[in-house]
A and B are shown apart, each in its own frame.
Chain A
């Protein structure tokens, strides 16, 4: 009974604090708007990842980067930080209308939708990664 009361009290405090963080507008919405932004985020995803080609989603919430070794990384906003994955054999790229859907093949990370210039070329490059690894 005591545990139940404590649990209910704690739950109320948790919801109040999370609600307060939301009400105070804490967090913010950082954007990936330049090559420098993407390089910084890519290096955070994997230390030492040095992009030679990058492309940003039109609204700045996601990006793709390729390093000199041909490895491709998908980056997306996660809360007010960024998270990403270096694409492997399970990855794929497809189109949903004009938007490129990059699926790193990891259910919990999820697919990332991007509105890109030169999307066709990036889709081809991503699908070649999985084709090469499958071979």
Chain B
């Protein structure tokens, strides 16, 4: 059985790439980095590794348990079935799309994922801003169908590791656009900047990990527009560099809301989208976008098509 943790081997590459991007920032965009923000982001990365090692046992056990009920058996040397690897990688990326989408649309999942978005910067250090509390969500359930299909949990973990490594390089403003064919199929810095933006037009879009085609397929794709500056972070910016607050703030907020809500609404604060409130006192991303769209409609110029401008027959009867 392969004993490989791809992200572990990629760490030196991550360090060199961050170093290179800092030099680029020094020359071209010094505002792209902020030392305290960088320190918090990198600490998230380290804490995530430790938390995964300490808390990941339950997820591994559950997947190994489910593997006993697999539909297809790749045999005792499953790692030697070469075609299973690319197939697993693609299906794992599809799984990533859905777990990521849930991470934005279900507050319980968002409580763990918000960490990745709470920086107001977008650089390679942001990519390492990974969750510490993922094991406290039900994210592992999204992998169970793959296990039941017959993919060994180790194969899924290795594919997931390469998926994570791919996503590292797209967290940058240093690359504007990739070639057209690449932008059409793959997740890119441009597509992922959109995902990290708080501009209303971009909220809750581009959930892809490696292949942007999933967003196009499931109706969540939004292209980056060149004439609007992107604002990064979360709708209600933290305004704090406190690491522990950054890790746990949404959990604390969610538990507080569940505690104080009327009984019939408690579950909604766990399972509905971030920003939902039973008294309408807060805004979800859909509400923010709807208000923004209404403002756009209010300031949009009247229709100026040729037909509208030349209504010479407007009051005449047809011949």
Q: Could you jot down 19 A-B contacts, CB within 8 Å? A: A3-B53, A11-B46, A13-B15, A15-B39, A21-B22, A21-B33, A21-B35, A26-B33, A28-B30, A45-B237, A79-B121, A79-B241, A80-B34, A81-B34, A81-B121, A83-B120, A83-B237, A108-B239, A108-B240
Q: Does B135 lie at the interface of the complex (its beta carbon under 8 Å from any beta carbon of A)?
A: no
Within 8 A of A (CB), among B16-30: 18-19, 22-23, 25-26, 30
Q: Which A6-52 residues sit within 8 Å CB-CB of chain B?
A: 6-7, 10-11, 13-15, 17-22, 24-28, 30, 44-45, 47-48
Q: Find out whether the CB atom of A14 lies under 8 angstroms from the CB atom of B42.
A: yes
Asked if A47 and B292 sit within 8 Å, CB to CB, the answer is yes
CA distance A44 to B141 in the complex (A): 36
Residue pair A17, B19 in contact (C-beta under 8 Å): yes
Contact yes or no, B26 A24, CB < 8 A: yes
A18-B39, A20-B19 given; name 17 further pairs at CB < 8 Å.
Answer: A6-B8, A7-B46, A14-B42, A15-B39, A17-B42, A18-B42, A21-B35, A22-B35, A24-B22, A24-B30, A26-B32, A78-B238, A79-B36, A81-B237, A108-B240, A109-B239, A110-B239
Instruction: From A17, A19, A83, give the contact of B125 (CB < 8 A).
Output: A17
CB proximity of A27 to chain B, nearest CB, Å: 4
A44–B233 Cα gap in the complex (Å)? 10
Query: Are A26 and B239 in contact, with the CB atoms below 8 A?
Result: no
Contact A47 B288 (CB under 8 A): yes
Candidates A10, A27, A80; contact of B11 at CB < 8 Å: A10
Would you call A48 and B291 a contact (CB within 8 A)?
yes
Max count, chain A CB within 10 A of own CB: residue among B22, B23, B237, B239: B239
Contact partner of B50 (CB less than 8 A), chosen from A7, A25, A27, A78, is A7
| A to B contact number (C-beta, < 8 Å) | 114
B105 contacts across to A, CB distance below 8 A: none
Residues of A within 8 A of B (CB): 3, 6-7, 10-11, 13-15, 17-22, 24-28, 30, 44-45, 47-48, 76, 78-81, 83-85, 108-110
- B interface residue numbers (CB < 8 A to A): 8, 11, 15, 18-19, 22-23, 25-26, 30-39, 42-43, 45-46, 49-50, 53, 120-121, 125, 198-200, 231, 233, 237-242, 245, 249, 288, 291-292, 295
Q: Which residue on B lies nearest to A112, using beta carbons?
A: B239
Taking CB atoms, residues of chain A closer than 8 Å to B242 are 108
Knowing A26-B26, A27-B30, the reply to whether A109 touches B240 (Cβ < 8 A) is yes
